[in-house]
Amino acid sequence: MSEAALALPTTLAAPAVVAGAAPLIRMEGVTKTYDAGELAVQALRGIDLAIEKGQMVAIIGPSGSGKSTLMHILGCLDAPSSGSYRLGGRDVSELSGFQLAAIRNQKVGFVFQTFNLLPKASLLRNVELPLLYAGIGGAERKEIAREALKKVGLVERAKHRPSELSGGQRQRAAIARAIVNGPSLILADEPTGNLDTRTGLEILELFDEMHARGETIVIVTHDPRIAERCGRVVQIVDGLIEDDRLLSGDAAPRPPSHPPARLAGVSPESEAARS
């Protein structure tokens, strides 16, 4: 049996819709066309996607394939052109921009490649902002924001401005801002794209910790090492899902790494004994 064949039992196709409790996310037939007259671009061409609470999902695919567009719709930054999207059981596909903003502030935490922190505000102020929008008062707001900064190991930098920090620290602050509201969904669009490899791995550790605490996380990435640490990998090509795989360790914070390497040491006898 070839090594590739041996590796097969460790992955299985993820069903688009899972039986049992309603998934946190359910998209059916979602399309998105950016209208520029004759130059209209159909960025998504019919996405069916269900994501369970507590899953950590990687979205991969070539540049221009629709990954960011999908994230914007998942995060209620934008509405689909057609199709349905239910978030936490609620149909959000036909809400107005104002209604979407309210849901976004309550339910979604975003992490971007470029951090998107306010340069003139302290880290604490940056992390407080979603709470301010949610109408939480000053003292309580500071307390919750400090807790979020603690979770990412930055509480001692609370008074610093983003420009006084390294790229990795800025991204950690952005993660604190994303989780400060206790969102039901954390979305990260190429969160390590502006970081060196080592710093990127540190950021990844943070996502692993959040996953271990039960958070639902969707990460767009070009980096195969990140994809391999997610329990599920969804590949988008040209506005469609081309592949959707659960890695065998989906329930665990980290799937087993490198199945072919692990199986390389398996002798034909022990392999036969297992099957």
Residues in 66-125 that interact with ligand ADP by CB under 6 A: 66-69
Residues 6 or more apart in contact with residue 197 via CB below 8 angstroms: none
Count how many residues are written for the chain. 275
Q: In what order do the strands lie in the sheet with 82-87?
A: 41-51, 25-34, 82-87, 90-91
Q: Which is nearer to ligand ADP, 68 or 216 (CB)?
A: 68
Check residue 65 for interaction with Mg ion (CB under 5 A): no
Q: In what order do the strands lie in the sheet with 185-189?
A: 11-13, 240-247, 232-237, 56-60, 217-220, 185-189, 108-112
The option from Mg ion, ligand ADP, none interacting with 41 (CB < 5 to 8 A, set by class) reads ligand ADP
Q: What is the DSSP letter of 197?
A: H
The option from ligand ADP, Mg ion, none interacting with 69 (CB < 5 to 8 A, set by class) reads ligand ADP
In this chain, which stretch among 65-73, 116-124, 148-156, 197-205 interacts with ligand ADP, using CB under 6 A? Answer: 65-73
Check residue 221 for interaction with Mg ion (CB under 5 A): no
Nearest-approach distance from CB 186 to ligand ADP, in angstroms: 18
The one-letter amino acid code at 245 reads R
In this chain, which stretch among 61-69, 121-129, 153-161, 177-185 interacts with ligand ADP, using CB under 6 A? Answer: 61-69
Q: Which of 55, 68, 216, 221 binds Mg ion (CB under 5 A)?
A: 68
Q: Which is nearer to Mg ion, 50 or 187 (CB)?
A: 187
DSSP codes, 17-36: S-SSSPPSEEEEEEEEEE--
What number of helices (H) and strands (E) belong to the chain?
Answer: 10, 11
Q: Which is nearer to Mg ion, 193 or 249 (CB)?
A: 193
Check residue 64 for interaction with ligand ADP (CB under 6 A): yes
Q: Which of 26, 28, 78, 69 is nearest to 189 (CA)?
A: 69
Check residue 65 for interaction with ligand ADP (CB under 6 A): yes
- The binding site for ligand ADP (CB under 6 A) comprises 34, 36, 41, 43, 61, 63-69
- The binding site for Mg ion (CB under 5 A) comprises 67-68
